[in-house]
Amino acid sequence: MTQKSLMLQVRNLRKTFTLHGRGGVQLPVFNDISFEVSAGECVALIGSSGSGKSTLLRSLYANYLPSAGEILVKHHGEWVDIASVEARTKLEIRRETIGYVSQFLRVIPRISSIDLISEVAISGGMSSEIAIEVSSALLRRLNLPEHLWNVPPATFSGGEQQRVNIAMGLVRPYPILLLDEPTASLDASNRESAIELILEAKSRGAAIIAICHDETARDRFADRLFDVSQFKAAA
Ligand SMILES: Nc1ncnc2c1ncn2[C@@H]1O[C@H](COP(=O)(O)OP(=O)(O)O)[C@@H](O)[C@H]1O
Ligand SMILES: [Mg+2]
């Protein structure tokens, strides 16, 4: 890449949870977080447990509304603040621009694993035939036993669900990828396959923000570390 092209700009972000069930108690998590991520770059979020890494990642996906600040996302060539766009645009950003690999399988519908992954690819305009091919290739690389492909992942082990998650996040060439512990529940050889897929996403130009406690894995794909605990908000 000749010139670094910015994909994400976080500006002065603050998150305080308000516990409505507890008389509106305020729970400050972080304050004044700013950073940028370019295409082809991976930033790893670090910091002690409870410092707000997952909260930050969820905010970037607009699962949580920030208390202050901006989350500017390069979407179809334009900067938009995902925290303040209308619902329709937010869904479009999630479909077209930001992929999210959560730590646990979020929805466990009664759809087979291969269909869950193919549907993501088809939503990106792939024909169903090619989508099945691409999804199969991914599951093969992630070493998910073939007899599980036609089974819904609800009853899978943690590591098997995690591989379905990774495949759903990587089957489309999202310009921005959010990864929450993508390799945590994988054994060594499956972890290696996941790392290789992440590196491939990076080299095709994805801007990646990752949480990964495993330092050996993290060192393989992270270009720099961002310590969330430095931004601890006063209680
Ligand atoms: N939905 C929520 N409502 C209230 N508090 C939350 C919520 N999610 C996280 N928190 C709190 O925010 C803090 C940061 O949590 P989290 O982002 O999960 O930390 P980390 O991922 O760094 O371990 C913790 O004190 C946690 O209890
Ligand atoms: Mg977390």
- Tell me the ligand closest to 52's alpha carbon: 1
pLDDT at 4: 78
Three-state DSSP string of 8-24: EEEEEEEEEEEEHHHCC
Residue type, 143: N
Question: Domain spans of the chain?
Answer: 1-97+208-235
Question: Is ligand 1 within 6 A of the CB of residue 66?
Answer: no
Q: Give the least confident one: 67-71, 83-87, 101-105.
A: 101-105
List pLDDT tens digits, range 28-48: 999 999 999 999 999 999 999
The residue among 172, 60, 76 whose CA lies nearest residue 124 is: 172
Residue nearest to atom 27 of ligand 1 (CA): 50
Report d(CA 196, CA 98) in Å as an integer: 20
- Region of poorest pLDDT, from 17-26, 67-76, 103-112, 157-166: 103-112
pLDDT, tens digit, for every residue of 4-13?
799 999 999 9
Atom of ligand 1 nearest to the CA of 47: 22
pLDDT tens, position by position, 61-76: 999 999 999 999 999 9
104 has pLDDT over 90: no
Of all protein residues, whose CA lies closest to atom 13 belonging to ligand 1? 50
DSSP 8-state class, residue 97: T
- Could you give the 3-state DSSP secondary structure of residue 227? strand
Query: Pick from 17, 151, 204, 176: which is nearest to 101 by CA?
Result: 176
State whether the beta carbon of 54 lies less than 6 angstroms from ligand 1.
yes
Strand extents, DSSP E, the chain: 6-19, 25-38, 42-46, 68-75, 78-81, 98-101, 176-180, 207-211, 224-227
At 70 the pLDDT is 97
* pLDDT greater than 60 at residue 1: no
Structural contact between residues 194 and 183, judged by C-beta atoms closer than 8 angstroms = yes
What DSSP string runs through 32-77? EEEEEEETT-EEEEE-STTSSHHHHHHHHTTSS--SEEEEEEEETT
What confidence tier does 108 reach under pLDDT thresholds 50, 70, 90? low
> Which one has a higher pLDDT value, 108 or 54?
54
Dist. CA 16 → ligand 1 center (Å): 10
Instruction: Please return the burial class of 187, using the count of CB atoms within 10 Å of its CB with bins 0-12, 13-18 and 19+.
Output: exposed
Residue-level pLDDT at 2: 46
Pocket flag, ligand 1, residue 51 (CB < 6 Å): yes
Ligand 2 center from residue 30 Cα (angstroms):
14
147, 93 contact by CB (below 8 A): no
For 180-190, how does the pLDDT look when each residue is reduced to its tens digit (9 = 90+)? 999 998 999 99
Lookup result for tokens 């700013």: 34
- Distance CA(233)–CA(230), nearest Å, equals 9
Please give the mean pLDDT across all residues of the chain: 94
Q: Ligand 1 within 6 A of 59 CB?
A: no
Would you give the DSSP letter of residue 3?
Answer: S
1-97+208-235 fold: Rossmann fold (3.40.50)
